């Protein structure tokens, strides 16, 4: 027996001090976080993203009344806008939702990852969100409702504090909707720990775009838990450019047969940015199809992490799952870590994964340069095409154009 208590990091000490003030109904969630503290490299799921080492400090939770000073990158898109300021829904900055959609905010207790029937997973980042989140945004799309315009949820962090947004979406049978989850704002030293839960019924068509466009010096920890019923279609897109340290967790579960999920991601990193995506797609029932496509562009000394796991449960026959990760490393100092995994417990399945990491093709670059394109322009053209492969999966033209323009700007800044 040892009575040595493990040394707490500065960030952990700060969180513990803050935890003393959480409401009594959240003590249990906080205790779940405390059990293990911040995850480190010996915790398998965090092997490449050692939060103990990477999270230098933990700012206090935001007080009410933060002022938004930035405009949404999607401001020109015709959408129903809902605004969450520092983790709290702000009705005064939100529009009404159309017929068939409704929204409400409460201080309800949210799943800390311990609910076995829930959409999440035991995880310290989720437990931390449950402990500190004091505003849950519930959005319901009624059965059969078809919401034409995208619903844009702006999740804005207004300063160097912590925000803990929690969004829960319920989508009824035969409904159709498009949600944009846009993480914006923040500053050096901000900590964002956000959780979105999505429950979809049967025969649903649902599009979900997540944007990480926060300050390049912020920490962004986001979790998405999703489950869908039968004969449904989920299309999820991720566009990541922000945050000095970011981790996005996806827990996706098929609960009804003959459904399809497509998850794609474009991640543009530079300087010393570190971005992790950890994905678990759970084929719990037969005859579902999943497609995952992740594209990373890594400049300077940035680090990309892709951990993707496809689980095929016993009996989930005729599962068709394919996962692909492609990364372009532009400088010697940049790193990509790929960890694809298949856990298959059924025998009649078609599953596969692939991962490529490499520099831009020299021969192609020469071809373009021989046609008069300067190096930076030739590279930008190739990178735009590379990222385009992920972006082209976004069905909404105006939003896809906006993200393509954003990519172009990113590439321009690179050669400037």
Partner 1 sequence: MLEIRNLHVAIEDGSKKILNGLNLTIRDGEVAAIMGPNGSGKSTLSYVIAGKDDYEVLDGEILLDGKNLLEMEPDERAAAGVFLAFQYPLEIPGVATMTFLKAALNAQRKGRGEDELTTPDFMRRVKAGAEKLGIPQDMLKRGLNVGFSGGEKKRMEILQMALLEPSIGILDETDSGLDIDALKIVSEGVNALRSAKRSFLVITHYQRLLNYIVPDTVHVMSKGQIVRTGGKELALELEANGYADYVTNAAA
Judged by CB, which is closer to partner 1: 121, or 384? Answer: 384
Which residues, other chains included, contact 195 with Cβ-Cβ below 8 Å and sequence gap of 6+?
110, 120, 126, 129, 130, 133, 165, 166, 167, 222, 223, 224, 225
Q: What's the closest the beta carbon of residue 256 comes to partner 1, in angstroms?
A: 35
User: Residues 1, 370, 413, 416: which binds partner 1 (CB under 8 A)?
Assistant: 370
Among 125-133, 265-273, 370-378, 404-412, the segment contacting partner 1 (CB under 8 A): 370-378
Judged by CB, which is closer to partner 1: 16, or 365? Answer: 365
Judged by CB, which is closer to partner 1: 275, or 391? Answer: 391
Judged by CB, which is closer to partner 1: 64, or 385? Answer: 385
Q: What's the closest the beta carbon of residue 336 comes to partner 1, in angstroms?
A: 20
Distance linking the first and last C-alpha atoms of the chain:
59
Judged by CB, which is closer to partner 1: 88, or 326? Answer: 326
User: What is the spatial distance between Cα 194 and Cα 135, in angstroms, rounded to a whole number?
Assistant: 11
Judged by CB, which is closer to partner 1: 358, or 374? Answer: 374
Judged by CB, which is closer to partner 1: 68, or 381? Answer: 381
Contact call for residue 363 and partner 1 (CB under 8 A):
yes
Cβ 227 vs Cβ 119: under 8 Å: yes
Retrieve residue 330's tokens: 């532009």
Contact call for residue 386 and partner 1 (CB under 8 A):
yes
Contact call for residue 382 and partner 1 (CB under 8 A):
yes
| Cα→Cα distances 210→156, 219, 224, 283, 397, Å | 13, 16, 10, 22, 16
Judged by CB, which is closer to partner 1: 220, or 378? Answer: 378
User: Residues 41, 56, 144, 375: which binds partner 1 (CB under 8 A)?
Assistant: 375
Among 21-29, 98-106, 332-340, 372-380, the segment contacting partner 1 (CB under 8 A): 372-380
Strand ranges, E, within 38-100: 80-85, 88-89
User: Which pairs count as long-range contacts for 118-121, CB under 8 Å and 24+ apart, including other chains?
Assistant: 118/197, 118/225, 119/197, 119/198, 119/199, 119/225, 119/226, 119/227, 119/251, 119/253, 120/195, 120/197, 120/223, 120/225, 120/251, 121/225, 121/249, 121/251, 121/280
Q: What's the closest the beta carbon of residue 368 comes to partner 1, in angstroms?
A: 7
Which residues, other chains included, contact 299 with Cβ-Cβ below 8 Å and sequence gap of 6+?
269, 270, 271, 330, 331, 334, 414
Among 91-99, 162-170, 176-184, 375-383, the segment contacting partner 1 (CB under 8 A): 375-383
Residue position matching structure tokens 């990477």? 54
Cβ 255 vs Cβ 285: under 8 Å: yes
Q: What's the closest the beta carbon of residue 296 comes to partner 1, in angstroms?
A: 16
Q: What's the closest the beta carbon of residue 331 comes to partner 1, in angstroms?
A: 18
Judged by CB, which is closer to partner 1: 97, or 387? Answer: 387
Stated as kind and residue range, the H or E segment containing 104 is strand 101-106
Give the number of residues in contact with partner 1, rule: CB under 8 A. Answer: 22
Q: Mask 333-362, x = binds partner 1 (CB under 8 A)?
A: -----------------------------x
User: Residues 70, 231, 373, 400: which binds partner 1 (CB under 8 A)?
Assistant: 373
Cβ 335 vs Cβ 49: under 8 Å: no
User: Residues 13, 366, 398, 405: which binds partner 1 (CB under 8 A)?
Assistant: 366
Beta bridge partners of 344: 312
Write the burial class of residue 404 (CB in 10 Å: 0-12 exposed, 13-18 middle, 19+ buried): middle
Judged by CB, which is closer to partner 1: 350, or 385? Answer: 385
Q: What's the closest the beta carbon of residue 392 comes to partner 1, in angstroms?
A: 9
Q: What's the closest the beta carbon of residue 330 comes to partner 1, in angstroms?
A: 17
User: Residues 257, 377, 401, 408: which binds partner 1 (CB under 8 A)?
Assistant: 377
> What are the phi and psi torsion angles at 29 (to 5°)?
-60, -40
Binding site for partner 1 (CB under 8 A): 362-364, 366-375, 377-378, 381-382, 384-386, 388-389
């Amino acid at each position: 027996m040892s009575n040595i208590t493990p040394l707490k990091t500065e960030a952990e000490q700060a969180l513990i001090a803050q935890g003393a003030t959480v409401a009594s109904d959240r003590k249990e969630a906080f205790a779940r976080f405390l059990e293990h503290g911040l995850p480190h490299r010996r915790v398998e799921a965090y092997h490449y993203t050692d939060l103990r080492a990477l999270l230098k400090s933990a700012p206090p939770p935001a007080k009410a009344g933060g002022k938004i000073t930035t405009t949404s990158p999607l401001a020109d898109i015709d959408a129903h806008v809902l605004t969450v300021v520092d983790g709290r829904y702000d009705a005064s900055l939100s529009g009404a939702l159309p017929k068939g959609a409704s929204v409400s905010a409460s201080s309800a207790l949210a799943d800390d990852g311990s609910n076995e029937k829930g959409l999440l997973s035991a995880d310290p980042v989720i437990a931390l969100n449950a402990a500190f989140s004091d505003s849950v945004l519930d959005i319901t799309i009624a059965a059969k409702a078809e919401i034409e315009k995208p619903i844009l949820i702006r999740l804005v962090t207004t300063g160097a504090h912590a925000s803990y947004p929690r969004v829960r979406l319920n989508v009824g049978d035969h409904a159709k909707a498009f949600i944009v989850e846009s993480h914006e704002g923040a500053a050096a030293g901000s900590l964002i720990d956000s959780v979105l839960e999505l429950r979809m019924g049967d025969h649903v068509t649902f599009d979900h775009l997540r944007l990480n466009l926060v300050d390049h010096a912020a920490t962004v920890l986001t979790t998405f838990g999703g489950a869908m019923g039968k004969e449904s279609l989920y299309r999820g897109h991720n566009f990541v450019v922000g945050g000095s340290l970011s981790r996005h967790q996806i827990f996706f579960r098929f609960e009804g047969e003959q459904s399809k999920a497509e998850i794609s991601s474009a991640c543009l990193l530079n300087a010393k940015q570190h971005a992790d995506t950890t994905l678990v797609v759970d084929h719990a029932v037969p005859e579902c199809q999943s497609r995952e496509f992740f594209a990373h562009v890594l400049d300077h000394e940035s680090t990309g992490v892709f951990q993707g796991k496809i689980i095929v449960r016993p009996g989930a026959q005729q599962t068709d799952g394919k996962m692909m990760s492609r990364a372009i490393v532009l400088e010697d100092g940049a790193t990509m870590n790929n960890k694809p995994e298949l856990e298959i417990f059924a025998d009649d399945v078609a599953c596969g994964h692939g991962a490529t990491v490499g520099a831009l093709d020299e021969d192609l670059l020469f071809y373009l340069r021989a046609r008069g394109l300067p190096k930076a322009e030739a590279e930008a053209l190739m990178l735009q095409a590379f990222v385009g492969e992920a972006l082209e999966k976004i069905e909404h033209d105006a939003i896809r154009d906006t993200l393509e323009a954003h990519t172009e700007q990113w590439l321009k800044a690179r050669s400037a």
